[in-house]
Structure 1
Amino acid sequence: MRYQSPLKPSPAWAALAASFMAPWDKPDHEMCRGRDDAQVISYPGGSSMSYASRVTLPLLCLTTLLACGRTPESADPYALSVLNETAGAPATPFEPGPIPADQTRVRVSFIGDVPNLPSIGVRSVFLCSTTCTATGVSGGVLAGDDGTGRGKLFSDVTLPPSRIDRIIVQPDPAAGQPVAFRTLRLAQPITLQAGERQEIFLSLSTVRPGDASSLEVTYLGTAPLPPTAGSVVAYRPDRAMAWPAGSPMGLAMAAGSLKEAQLFGMELIDTGGIVPRVAVWPALKTQDPMTVTLKVNRDRIAKGLTAADYKVQLADKTTPAVTMNGDTLTFQAKDLSGAQVYTDRSVIETSSGERIALPGKTLNAASISAQDTSACKNSLTARRAEYEQYFADGTDAIRIFDCENVAPYVHIVLIDRSNRGRTVDLPVTPSVDYPGKYVLRPITSHGTGAVVAINGFTWDGDKGTYMGTGYGTPLGTLITAGTARKKTSTTEAILGFQMQPADRSKGTSAEFFVGASTSLNFGTHNYNVIGSTTSVIRNGACNPNLDTTSVNRWSAVGIGLNRMALVSSTSSGTSSPRDLCSVFEGLGYLSGAIRLDGGPSAAMAWLGQHINPLTGSDYYAFGNARNILNALVWK
């Protein structure tokens, strides 16, 4: 047989090669797209085909297969190209900490439609917009329905903001049973917002009822959640759901309680009460009552009371029936937002952590109109002598519970400024990178080591969300430890404090000022100075110009009788600035009081615990607490 150069194939070979390559003349390599069928190619010339042709033809076939993303042995049946999709760069795993301001935190979970499903093998879950982004690491996923609504987390990543309209679960037979490989097209795209957290749940079910050998994945739902939400639950209307019994919180919902499937986040927040505060987002308002169980911390029940002395108050100020079984408190409600446990008895807590019920009942919160502050004021007036006795016995700070469940719905801490063991501080953290600006921090950070901390006045700068580190500059007069941070020329109400002697030979003197700070002489009360645009108490009485219509969350601080009162709205409590007068009038602290920042900034930490964490839309935007520029602390 005569040798023939591979550079000059025989006429028969050239004709075959031209026929084989003809499909590549079509646009977009149509031969590769969706072709699972094999082409049968006959060798020209039978056994007389040249040696070079016999070598070159397989090489050409191999080149063609590789160009199509295939191998000569077998094509990958789970390649994205099979679904006519392309993959971009994989997602970045989420690192614990703040969500980057230019990214979205995305968590993908699986939940079984029935119990006892086998473990499935998942190579990746692709979230698709213009291209598809791989999330997660290949592995087995065991996601049966255990009745709690909990899913099995597969991936926790960060992605740039985008609109997701397709989801693809890529099987991995080596890691578990494969599922149907297909594109899930979303009727409502998922919008990923910068700096936020998005939960996605995928439902795992059998293709044929009762046959676990054939499984498929469908899209269940999505929800944006607050950054601090710990547990994520999927409610499905076709079945009942019960959060695990024996945990600090139990939640049972009947089938049909909601019309559509709903993802929601739950968080139990320790605010120092006998039960934790329940935070739920999005807010649940069900057609049938939910059954809630909470574990009672008996060590926190006020001395002189039992668990039976406590009640539950809902957002609409109603009090559902409560049952106690051992250490478990149970009640039912259709709306959990604003639910809190309280007692009608008058309770105080000292700076040493001793919680005491004062003699006699004080008020019936359920019988008082929403904005009637008289019950709060009258109770404070009636208890003045008892508060003073605790100060006389050496207590330097007292928390009062009487006005937390009646208007103006505030936490109150009284401070004996004549006590020499502690003093006032206005902590700030100057920015190293941005001179003249200050780092925004949560109230518990400002209050490290303090008996009590309350937010300061407002600032200009970042909003104080959970996205990275924020900075700001004070808008009101602020002098901390003798250093002027800000002095304005606008009319203000100001509290100034003397520097306590190094030997602590006396307490902390304070004085109230009104006027332009640049023209005021603070005298010796210039060591710690905090200003506001609004006075609550001035000239020994309630400021007659106070707004009575701007209902919001507020904080305030006032002085009188060598004492000081810190006041901050409860988590779900709101009031007008005028309503705050009732606290200082009831206490008789009439030397002067100023309103501090309000809304999501209103915050108080007592004995190291944040006692009024955020709820509702503020909880979604900021988490449990907004980062603030400064605080007033007693330490």
Structure 2
Amino acid sequence: MLELITLKYKKKFAMQYKSLFLLMAISALTSNAYADNKFMRINLLSDTSKIYNIGSIKACYVNNSCITTSLNKEINLGIKQNGDANYIGDIPLASNNQLKSLEFIPTNSHFPSNVNGRISLDIPLKIDPLLNYQALVNLKTLSSNLQPSSIAVSPFRSEFQNVFYVPEKDLNIKLKSGINLNIPANALNKPQIFVVSENNVGEKIPLIDIYPYLKLNKNLTLTLPQETVGSRSTFASPGYSSQIISNTTSTFRESSIKIATRAATAQSCQQIISSNINAWIQQLRGTANGLLRISQCENIPPYMHIVLVDNTRTKVIVAAEKYSANSPNNQVKLLPITDYIGVPRVKSGINGFVWDGDSGSSRGQQGTLIGNVVSGGRVLSTAAPGKNYYNFHFFNNNTTNWQLTQGPYNFPANLQTAVGSSTSIVKNGACSGQGNTDRWSAIGSNNNYVTAMMSSTSGSEVNDKDLCPIFQSLTMNNAIRLDGGPSAAIFWDNLHLNPLVGASKFYYGTARSVAYPLLSYK
């Protein structure tokens, strides 16, 4: 049995990394109306196949206010199989409140069969103004009508696959990738909406995230399609299986599954890098695009994606887009770094440093750069007076250097790219992290014309101090921490390696919109 453990996941804003709940509180104080057109999608499951009248739905809150939405439709509530449900419509949600119940009210007294009755949530749902929601209401027959017997709610985002589970039935569904998901009857005691996301990360199977993360009474099974376990697949090798079995819903990927089924690795990430660094540098020099992905530390601590950049052939650039033609240089449009996948001459990228402004929950929001940022020799942002920043410099002759400055300061001549951070990980060979645990991205370089981009794997966290020996084993005496939390992102060879999972994917999708990426450009 495979049981993957998902580390706790923090949701943070850029800059001061304020909790999302602070924004929720502020938004709630500024509006007592609907939560910025936020809605709840209503889905029904019934134990009979018949046409029923759906009249109005009254949503009531803990402050005893209610909002009634008229649907007034007749619908065949057929018995659904394989994780599906009957979608009947959306209802608006009120902000600054907590939803406690839904009531179905018939509006056509002449119709022979209606959905009628009230159902309360076990725990009132605090309406987050950044999210939409969905409800699964399980109905039971009462005379000629149907009445609600149980309810499950979850966040809703249209790009993800929603799987509706009720304890009375086995759930057996084919995911979009062709992988079959089975959750037995009575694996849970209550109905549940599982939100499944699948992302291509360059492995035989996609990264699969099944949220929320729950302990099950009976094991779930993921069965790989036949073509996945053929002669070309590692799962056909001795010691591997065409099935993944787990007693929790979680994040599953091929590489973590393989390492979980083998004996524990005998070497640490640092030891592996130290033993192979010279060979890797030679290999890097021979690659066509001047890049080399180091995957050996993705499934062992500190759980980092690492991409090496050959600076003799490949530049490191900042890509920041002004918010508007009339905006100052330091006001930029927030975009996910995945927008740069497929751009000619760009093969890898990592998120940059923090910003002030919008949350990055949607593409095109506004942000103001913080610290020192230079793009293509053009100064976009300088540090505020008296603020210390440790700066990564990339010059026109492909060399790099590092400088601790107090803003503002005069940038060096022939500078192509500059990024400043308030936190260094390695400074002049000495460890200098602050000891904060989260998802992190980081960048470092050495005197051999090599730059390393690092970013946390999906669902993992790391103490920034633990990144220091990794950079040191790469012979890099200087490295800075970039933005972290849900901002941490990296792509390589047109693949987004660490898409967001868990609760964060509802706020930001698979990648948060950020102020700028650092890109390899050849």
- Length-normalised TM-score, structure 2: 0.80
Question: Please, which of 571, 593, 597 is the counterpart of residue 479 of structure 2?
Answer: 593
**Gaps in structure 2 of 5+ consecutive residues:** 1-33
Given candidates 539, 542, 563, the residue that maps to 2:450 is 563
Distance 1:151 1:519, change over 3 A: same
- CA-CA distance at 1:403 after TM superposition: 0.6
Measured against aligned partners, the alpha-carbon deviations of 1:307-360 in whole angstroms (never above 9, x if no partner) come to 23789xxxxxxxxx8423xxxxx1110123233221799xxxxxxxxxxxxxxx
1:68 paired residue number: none
Partner residue of 1:111 out of 31, 41, 45: 45
Q: 1:513 to 1:364 in 2, by over 3 A?
A: farther
Q: How does 1:170-319 map to 2 (within 5 A)?
A: 170=106, 178-180=112-114, 182-186=116-120, 188=122, 190-207=125-142, 214-225=144-155, 227=157, 230-244=160-174, 248-295=178-225, 306-308=233-235
Q: Could you list the per-position Cα deviations for residues 133-187 of structure 1 after superposition, in whole angstroms to 9, with x for gaps in the alignment?
A: 32557353343132x232121214544435363422546699xx75335342536
Change in Cα spacing, 1:389 to 1:264, as seen in structure 2 (3 Å) is closer
C-alpha contact (below 8 Å) 1:423/1:634 kept by paired residues: yes
Name the CA distance, whole Å, in 1 between partners of 2:488 and 2:264: 27
Assess, with a 3 A threshold, how the Cα gap between structure 1 residues 365 and 522 changes in structure 2: closer, same or farther: farther
Q: Following superposition of structure 1 onto structure 2, how do residues 29-428 of structure 1 map, counting pairs within 5 Å?
A: 102-113=36-47, 117-122=49-54, 125-127=57-59, 130=65, 132-134=67-69, 136=71, 138-146=73-81, 148-156=82-90, 158-161=92-95, 163=99, 165-170=101-106, 178-180=112-114, 182-186=116-120, 188=122, 190-207=125-142, 214-225=144-155, 227=157, 230-244=160-174, 248-295=178-225, 306-308=233-235, 322-324=240-242, 330-342=243-255, 366-368=263-265, 374-379=268-273, 381-392=275-286, 394-419=288-313, 422-428=314-320
2:470 paired with 1:576? no
User: Does structure 1 conserve the Cα–Cα contact (< 8 Å) formed by 2:200 and 2:206?
Assistant: yes
8 Å CA contact retained: 2:57, 2:102 = no
Contact 1:377–1:585 at 8 Å: present in 2 too?
Answer: no
Deviation at 1:530, TM superposition (A): 0.5
**What is the CA distance between 1:550 and its match in structure 2?**
2.2
Contact 1:179 1:215 in 2 (8 A): yes
CA distance in 1, matches of 2:277, 2:210: 36
Q: TM-score, normalised by structure 1?
A: 0.67
**Closer, same or farther: CA 236–418 of 1 in aligned 2, 3 Å:** same
CA–CA separation in structure 1 for the residues paired with 2:84 and 2:476: 51
- 8 A contact 1:452–1:606 mirrored in 2: yes
Deviations along 1:420-452, one digit per CA (max 9) or x if unpaired, are xx5322111222286552221112125551211
Is the deviation greater in 452-461 or in 379-388?
379-388
Choose the corresponding residue for 1:606, options 492, 495, 514.
Answer: 492
Q: What is the aligned partner in structure 2 of residue 476 from structure 1?
A: 371
Rounded to whole Å, the distance in 2 between the matches of 1:491 and 1:181 is 64
Task: Summarize the Cα distance change of 1:296–1:462 in structure 2 as closer, same or farther, 3 Å threshold.
Answer: farther
SS in 2 for 1:385: helix
Amino acid corresponding to residue 141 of structure 1 in structure 2: N
1:452 aligns with 348
Indicate if the aligned counterparts of 1:498 and 1:524 stay in contact, CA closer than 8 A.
yes
Report the Cα offset of residue 124 of structure 1: 5.3
> Compared with structure 1, are the counterparts of its residues 578 and 225 closer, same or farther at alpha carbon in structure 2 (3 Å cutoff)?
same
SS in 2 for 1:597: strand
1:292 shift after superposition: 1.4
**Contact in 2 for aligned 1:236/1:262 (Cα 8 Å):** yes
Q: Secondary structure at the match of 1:154?
A: strand
Higher relative contact order (CA 8 A, sep 6+): 2
Q: Structure 1, residues 352-399: CA drift from partner, whole Å, max 9, x if none?
A: xxxxxxxxxx99975259xxx834442453253244135235441121
Identity %: 23
CA change 1:178–1:201 in 2 (3 A) is farther
Distance 2:165 2:427 in 1: 53
Structure 1 unaligned blocks of 5 or more? 1-99, 209-213, 312-320, 325-329, 346-361, 500-506
1:493 equivalent in structure 2: 390
Separation (CA, whole Å) in 2 of partners of 1:273 and 1:101: 40
The 3-state SS of whatever aligns with 1:578 is: helix
The question of whether the paired residues in 2 share the 8 Å contact of 1:171 and 1:179 is answered with no
Residue 154 of structure 1 aligns with an amino acid whose one-letter code is: I
Asked whether the 8 Å contact 2:40–2:93 carries over to 1, the reply is: yes
Alignment-derived partner of residue 327 in structure 1: none
- Asked if structure 2 preserves the Cα contact closer than 8 Å seen for 1:378 and 1:586, the reply is no
Q: Deviations over 1:10-43 (max 9, x none)?
A: xxxxxxxxxxxxxxxxxxxxxxxxxxxxxxxxxx
Structure showing greater radius of gyration is 1
Specify which structure has the higher proportion of strand.
Answer: 2
Give the letter aligned to residue 476 of structure 2: Y
Q: Secondary structure at the match of 1:275?
A: coil
Alpha-carbon offset, residue 195 of structure 1: 2.5
Structure 2 counterpart of 1:349: none
Distance 1:101 1:286, change over 3 A: same
In structure 1, C-alpha distance between the alignment counterparts of 2:189 and 2:261, rounded to whole Å: 37
